């Protein structure tokens, strides 16, 4: 989605990002999204911002409460804090 996501790359130092910033070109492309009403735990845990515990919680919540009506319902899951939600949201759909 943006250059800012490079800050999430483990081991990539801030100084390196600053030095490379003028050389990096961001070209928006179509984002591949996951449907939270049909994605499996395995598909969800493959998402770079979701871990197994998040994937498991998303699927279990879906089983208990039926399909999600809005993405904001993910906020009801204790393991998914606002930071995780905001990072993952652009890659999720109903």
What CATH number does the domain containing 37 carry? 1.10.150.280
Return left, alpha or beta for 88; rule: phi > 0 is left, psi -120 to 50 is alpha, else beta: alpha
| Total domain count, the chain | 1
> CA-to-CA distance for 64 and 52, rounded, in angstroms?
18
Tens digit of pLDDT per residue, the chain (94 long)?
667 777 777 788 888 888 888 888 777 777 789 999 999 999 999 998 999 999 999 999 999 999 999 999 999 999 999 999 999 999 999 9
Q: What is the pTM of this model?
A: 0.75
Full residue range of the structural domain in which residue 13 is found = 3-93
Q: What is the pLDDT of residue 14?
A: 85
């Amino acid at each position: 989605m943006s250059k800012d996501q490079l800050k999430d790359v483990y081991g990539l130092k801030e100084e390196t990002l600053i030095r490379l910033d003028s050389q990096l070109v961001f070209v928006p492309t179509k984002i591949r999204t996951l449907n939270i009403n049909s994605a499996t735990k395995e598909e969800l845990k493959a998402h770079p911002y979701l871990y197994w515990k998040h994937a498991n919680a998303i699927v279990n919540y879906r089983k208990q409460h039926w399909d999600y009506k809005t993405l904001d319902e993910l906020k009801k899951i204790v393991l998914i804090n606002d930071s995780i939600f905001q990072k993952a949201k652009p890659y999720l759909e109903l």
